[in-house]
Amino acid sequence: MNGKTKNHHKKKKKRKHQPGLAPGTPVYTGDETPQRTVITLHSYDSETFNSIKIKDAEALPALIAQPGVHWIEITGFSDTSLIEQVGEHFLLHSLTIEDILDVLQNPKFEIYENYLVLFLRRVTSGTIFNEFKSSQVCLILGPNYVISFQEKSSHIYDTVKRRLRLPKSRLRLAEVDFLFYSLLDVEVDNYFTGIDIVSEEIEHMEAESFTQPQETTLRNIHCIRQQLPLLKRSVRPLQYIANELRHERISLIRPELHIYFRDLYDHIRQIIESVEIFRDQQTGIMEIYLSNINNQMNKIMQFLTIIGTIFLPLTMVTGVYGMNFRFMPELEWRYGYYMVLTFMTAIAIGMLALFKKKNWI
């Protein structure tokens, strides 16, 4: 059911922390068949926009040295040595490279001398009951470049690319930090999609708990309960990150952009609040479910007990006329038998009417 998420959880520990590895040794910790590494360089200024595929990391330094803003988009981690080469060319710290390849990082944000790096988890697909998958994204902001590492290719950045192609768009006119902000913004927007899916599933659960609680409902509620902390864990650190970005004196981000990161911070807070409300809703649904399942069971027992209660006096009546007393006048009556049957029917109907009136049936 939620096997994938659990495996993810377990792999994290299993692979990463192999005894015997020196810290800072990069090891890819993701899927067994990683996506093929593709490097695309988008270079632009207010006049021009160019996208080229890069095969050889050696070429990068020369290309980056040119004026304009450069966005190195890297997807797929099959070729770890290529990624390490990129890292070396941009003077990334060995721990940064290690973290990029260890695709099970919690979101975090670190400032180095010549660049800042931001890790986040992208919710890629799936419902909360099944295959709630996330992939790792790493954004690095340097003096005149952004490097994005995506574990898995996605259409998420298409909107940014579209805007980049428009000659007079704000993005084309702005500096590299605005590109960094724009990429982060589409990542945050992408969370809302995940939140919406979960929200719908929870509403579905809720309706089900009210109207037709079943045993699978319990399993599903429990499943949400188990998934929510994982979701929270992948969202919560973002708040702290956005807060740092909007406040701190970071030389790579101009003060004019602080207001944009403040906006981002508000969006992230909305996401986190939604996740917190989910938790609460889940508890509420659990209560409703248990209360309804219990009621259902009690209703059945009550119904059965009522049936039993109706037959008991009838049986007693038959017992009375089954007694062997010598002198029992009714037994001699011509229509005694029919009278008794009528009497018994009357008792049954009377009791049914009574229970109906008391709203017990």
Site for a copy of itself in 199-228 (CB under 8 A): 199, 203, 206, 210, 215, 218-219, 222, 225-226
State phi, psi for 117 to the nearest 5 degrees: -130, 140
Q: Is 150 exposed, middle or buried (0-12, 13-18, 19+ CB in 10 A)?
A: buried
- How does DSSP assign 221-262, residue by residue? HHHHHHHHHHHHHHHHHHHHHHHHHHHS--TTS-GGGHHHHH
Q: How far is the CB of 121 from a copy of itself (least distance, A)?
A: 13
State phi, psi for 74 to the nearest 5 degrees: -115, 125
Going from the C-alpha of 82 to that of each of 38, 56, 75, the distances in angstroms are 10, 8, 12
What is the footprint of a copy of itself within residues 91-110 (CB under 8 A)? 93, 95, 105-106, 108, 110
Residue 1 or 52 having the CB closest to a copy of itself: 1
What is the footprint of a copy of itself within residues 18-47 (CB under 8 A)? 19-24
What is the footprint of a copy of itself within residues 53-82 (CB under 8 A)? none
Q: How far apart are CA 173 and CA 256, in angstroms?
A: 14
Q: How far is the CB of 59 from a copy of itself (least distance, A)?
A: 29
Going from the C-alpha of 92 to that of each of 56, 147, 201, the distances in angstroms are 18, 11, 42
Q: Which of 277, 293, 287, 286 is nearest to 211 (CA)?
A: 293
Candidate segments 15-23, 37-45, 126-134, 241-249, binder of a copy of itself by CB under 8 A: 15-23
**# chain residues binding a copy of itself, by CB under 8 A:** 115
Tell which one of 291, 342, 353, 356 touches a copy of itself (CB under 8 A). 291
Residue 81 or 291 having the CB closest to a copy of itself: 291
Q: How far is the CB of 163 from a copy of itself (least distance, A)?
A: 6
Tell which one of 38, 63, 252, 306 touches a copy of itself (CB under 8 A). 306
